[in-house]
Amino acid sequence: MLERSRGKKHTEITFVIPADRPCGHVSVVGDFNDWQPGAHPFVEQGDGSRSVTLALPSEQRYGFRYLAHGDYWFNDDHADEQDGHNSVIHT
């Protein structure tokens, strides 16, 4: 799931995965961090879900995926679109 807070120059995107998704370490990787695993790890919330928030420049398009422990890649079904193997978000 994705939550957004739009500003004039930046959009805060909160990437959220539910508690029942892969356990262990998960990070969001994409165009915004040069696809570097572990650069933006998810943090567990009180309800068991996990999230990470990034401030990204507005009016941009970013490809991304989630990477879990064991080299398990998965997409966000709530992304703005799917482009081949990647999820896509528009800020």
pTM for this entry: 0.91
Q: What CATH number is attached to the domain comprising 20?
A: 2.60.40.10
Task: Please tell me the predicted confidence (pLDDT) of residue 21.
Answer: 78
22 has a pLDDT exceeding 90: no
- Tokens, residue 58: 């507005």
- Specify the DSSP element, H or E, that contains 65: strand 61-68
Residues 40, 28 contacting (CB under 8 angstroms):
yes
Task: Please tell me the predicted confidence (pLDDT) of residue 50.
Answer: 95
89 has a pLDDT exceeding 90: yes
Q: Which of 56, 63, 54, 59 is nearest to 31 (CA)?
A: 63
23 has a pLDDT exceeding 80: no
**Backbone φ, ψ for residue 19 (5° rounding):** -60, -30
Total domains present in the chain: 1
Domain region containing 16: 2-90
